[in-house]
Amino acid sequence: MRSLIVFNSVTLDGYFTGPNADMSWAHREHTDPEFDAFVAGNAKTGGMLLLGRTTYDMMASWWPTSQAIKAFPEVAAGMNSAPKVVFSKKMEKSDWSNTRVVKGDLAAEVKKLKQEPGPDMAILGSGSIVAQLAPTGLIDEYTFVLTPVVLGAGRTLFDGMKEKLNLELTKSRAFKNGNVVLSYSAG
């Protein structure tokens, strides 16, 4: 069975998006070749990406562009070639390569995807999907890039969660740019 991993950046005060869905804080100007190599390495894993409509719209408007390909060639190649599933009740079709739209019951569809053969799957962004799937036990691992920024307002990754979620730290890694990557098992 395939694993499902959440991979998201979060601020020190617990937000994964700022006011008005701002994500600019996650791409700070502090360059760190080691962190850049870490990000590029993750993009090469070849797994399936699971996205909500808002995250899909943001990523589909950036990664296929010549600017993205020039600025982040390895990450853009990985994002554009990866198989992608976007969960949306209103979206009819996708123009981004290797993307299919799924409208059915989220948990049931993810359970089916996990049972298919293939590489692991990752949820990027897509806080509403994370919050809906977390209580179902379908998420195997949570990896957060803790970014040394305080926003004071925004949206948490687990908005709407009604149950406690116990996680176990499995690895951590600090980078010179101040980012700390924390991985947790859902147990």
Number of domains in the chain: 1
- Summarised one tens digit per residue, pLDDT across range 94-107 is 999 999 999 989 99
Q: Please tell me the predicted confidence (pLDDT) of residue 129.
A: 93
- Summarised one tens digit per residue, pLDDT across range 108-122 is 999 999 999 988 999
Q: Please tell me the predicted confidence (pLDDT) of residue 32.
A: 85
Whole-prediction pTM: 0.90
- Summarised one tens digit per residue, pLDDT across range 158-170 is 888 888 899 999 9
Q: Please tell me the predicted confidence (pLDDT) of residue 45.
A: 66
CATH number where 81 lies: 3.40.430.10
Pair 182, 143: CB distance under 8 Å: yes
Residues of the chain scoring pLDDT < 70: 28-30, 43-46
Which domain does 178 fall in, by range?
Answer: 4-185
